[in-house]
Structure 1
Amino acid sequence: MIGRQNWAIIPLKGFMGSRLGDVVTSNKNLGLAGAAVLIVGLFCPIVTLPFLGNVNIFNDGTNLIALVLLAIAVIGGAMALNGREHDTLWPGVAGAVILVYHFATLQYRLSQMRSSMDELKDNPFAGLAKTAVGAIQLQWGWLVLAAGAGLLVYAGIRARRELEQPLTALPDSPAKTVAGISTLLAVGVIGWTIAGGSIKTAGSDTGQNASGLSSTISDGVGLPSVEAEGPGPEEAAYIRNNLKLYGLETKYYESMLDGRVPGVDFKIKNNGGRTLNRVKVKVVFQDSQGKPIAEEEYSPIWVVENSYSSDNNTPLRPNYIWQNEKDHFYNAKSVPSEWAEGKATATITDIEFAPRK
């Protein structure tokens, strides 16, 4: 009987050891997958902005929130890789807190922007402002980011249950270090955005475009402003005396996505002594008789604080020249077929000076 009992126990121990190894490997894979998905999410579109299109949170590595989330993903992946799957809980929770805070803040401020449209009901440019605000849409990148943080949290909770360890336990120095760094990163980036965040809405500053809408969200997503007025006297004089728009080319271009479409290309040189944060250009398309039949507006220069997109987020400094990247052009898909190819005029309609230092 004793011999039989020993033979029965040995396979059971082997089976339990195999099961435990499978669980550890599974938790490790979950942690690594969570870190990888969180990193991928940094490059996925999280919002669509008028004129800018889809933008992601990484923004060429210039966004602090993205860098913090990247650090959190690296910490979580390192914990999983080194057999400390139970410690992926802390970076996962930190990432989730950051994402929830910024998503909620963005939703709130978008709601504030939309509600401020009521103040423009008697403004002739209200339709333009509402169209621009209505074009702002959240994108699926948020789901990818949430999935990455969620996997890190799930891997940590699952590993702690297997070890019969309390969820908030910090049994050794490495666990305390990871928890401390994760907490510091989350609190730090949220505190930074609260300290530097600001909302500017129509009517909130009577001395600043009271009839227009200007909204800048500086704690995660930079949203472009919609100006309801044309240039002031100083701006108009600067446009007339110091800005040169040249090299205008309007023709049908071959687009990989849309096929043959009307397009626009041009250059702008700043011959003055001021740096410009925004330049607006209006292109008027003409038929074969030279009569205008359509128009498009573009903002080749548009500096938005903490924007996720860097396509046109560089100011136009004195003596600098702006031009499109090679083989790039501005799309004009709404131009009707009656347009005579090559017949168009382009005008700089408004500018915004950078603050003097």
Structure 2
Amino acid sequence: MSIQRMRANQTILLAFFIALLSHSTGAAPVGVCYGRVATNLPPPSAVINLLKSNGISRIRLFNPDPVSLKPFSGTGIELMIGVPNEILPTLANGTISTSLQWLQSNIFIHISPNQVLYLVVGNEVFLKDPFYAPYVVPAILNLYQALKMLGLDDNIRVSSSHAATILSNSYPPSAGTFDPNIKPLLIPLLQFLRDTGSPLMINVYPFFSYINNRQYVTLDYALFRSSTVEIDQNLTYTNMFDATIDAFVYAMEREGFSGIPVVVMETGWPTGGGDAAEADNALAYNGNVVMRAMANIGTPRRPGVGVEVFLFDLFDEDGKSGEEYEKHFGIFGVDGVKAYDIRFN
């Protein structure tokens, strides 16, 4: 057995042990993203059975497509539902009634509101899809008011998901700073999140940090197994995951927003398609992410505050563009067999 495989197995055993210990103490939730950019996905009934048999009780859907949304009705599985970028102008420029009608006809006609945890208004819009950037906050405000009319504003949180690139500086974490070009759009969002108790939603991928910055980021630092400790503001960092989250925390504090929670909307590690993309590494990374959430470890800046996470992705997506590894983030094969032995509860 390789040293990497031994380490990966030790990681998942530790995750399982700590999860058992922390199960009754209110661990931070762990969910899975259900991407559907693929040609060979199993039928919805099989997906629901797969989720239940593996103890997965939270799912992120990237859009309210009825084919993927309807099967969750009555299952008890909680959902994070995306509001697609292309609908943002309509919601932003319309009235509250427009947002109310959109919610009713696209989401609540298919699923009970008590299964919806979050509305994710736009995905990685700032910087990556700037045409829609001015519409994010107005759309959020209209959707929030529509939820308020329905008496759901305390049950369904509204936010938007962001790539790590909205930080112009992330190292060391205490130097975390938002890109000045997006601050006029971001500050009103942060004000809304603070006022409503909603989280900042971020996508965190140490895999990308490693493959794009190997001269600065080691594989061990990305995989939670570094023996090197980095000190920043008297806090110790041993992995990229913590450092990235805390960079966002510091960036918010720098703008005067200190209490906004952080939810990791996407994080994961590919099992193929490139260097370091393999099942052992995916198990080591995702296993540690789950273990830390279940144990409420938090980060050096927010110790003991468990980070809610959604692992990417449920299945490989052969329809994804870009590098080959983009197609290989699946935790399960389409036959329902795990790509590696990770546990979720």
Normalised-by-shorter TM-score class: under 0.3
What TM-score results when the alignment is normalised by the length of structure 2?
Answer: 0.20
Q: Which has the higher strand share?
A: 1
Greater C-alpha Rg? 1
Q: What TM-score does the superposition give when structure 1 sets the normalisation length?
A: 0.20
